[in-house]
Every structure is written in structure tokens, then in C-alpha cells.
Homo-oligomer: A and B are copies of this chain.
Amino acid sequence: MAISLRKARTIIRKALDKGREMDLKPLSVVVLDAGGHVQAFEREDGAAPGRFAIAHGKAYGAVMLGMAGTAQMNRAEDQAYFMAAVNGVYGGQVIPVPGGVLLRDKKGAVIGAVGVTGDTSDNDAVAALNGIEAAGLTGEI
């Protein structure tokens, strides 16, 4: 099961909608496939220019490690040098905080990840989940 562009669009739109509903700061949302490659991305007007890299880093680490943002953050809190080393082998492309949400199919296989950035990490994760559920998928924050 792959993430179609149609589903990726739904995830992004509904994550952004949630941001507007909650009156969050401008959000940026990326959807990566099961190989960690970019399927779709949008940055809201007013967001800082560098937000693609942050959204990407949250989702990329989730796919590559098979570990969602919260689990990555816990590992970074416990063993900072380990997550620093992980970033080394992944070319510095991992942002280990909530807002990186794993997408799993019904059998539990990882089919991609969503990365949201712009507000607090916890609010970013809420917006991501809203988009993921609207697309009929299950997210692990």
C-alpha cells in the first residue's frame, strides 16, 4: 500500500485546516513515502523560509528509523549522543521531536510519514493527526 498523491493532498489540506481552526502559527506539512522520499509539501503564507527542512527532518527520521517523533525525542532525552550519531549517518537530516508522525497500514507496516512544523511540537502533531485521519490512515505520533 502506497500513499497516493490524492491521499497526500488530503493529509496536507486537513492538517492546514486544523492549524487555522486552532489558530496556530503558519504551518508547513510534508508527506514522505515508505522510502523517505518527498511525495508532497506545502508551506503556508507567512511561514519562515526554512520550514521545508524542518518538516522534512521530522518525517525523515520517522521513516528511516521506523520510530515516530515522540519516541525519537525520548531517546534523545535519554541518550543525546545516540541521536546525534544517528544524524551523522543520515546526513544531518533528522529532527527528533513530535510533529514527525509515522503512517502505518492495517498490518502495521510503515507506509510513510508526515512532518508538520510551525507551532509547538505538540500542536504540530495534532494538526498532522487531523490530516492523517481525514485520509483514512492511522498515525503514530
Q: Are B64 and A48 closer than 8 Å at their CB atoms?
A: yes
Contact A64 B49, CB 8 Å, known A86-B95, A88-B57: yes
So how many copies of this chain end up in the complex? 4
Q: Are A42 and B88 closer than 8 Å at their CB atoms?
A: no
Which of B48, B79, B93 sits near A66, CB closer than 8 Å?
B48
* Chain A interface size range: 35 or more
Contact A82 B97, CB 8 Å, known A37-B35, A89-B56, A89-B57: yes
Task: List A residues at the B interface (Cβ < 8 Å).
Answer: 2, 4-5, 8-9, 33-50, 52-54, 56-57, 63-67, 76-77, 79-97, 109-110
The 6 closest A-B pairs by CB, nearest first: A35-B35, A88-B92, A50-B64, A48-B66, A37-B49, A38-B52
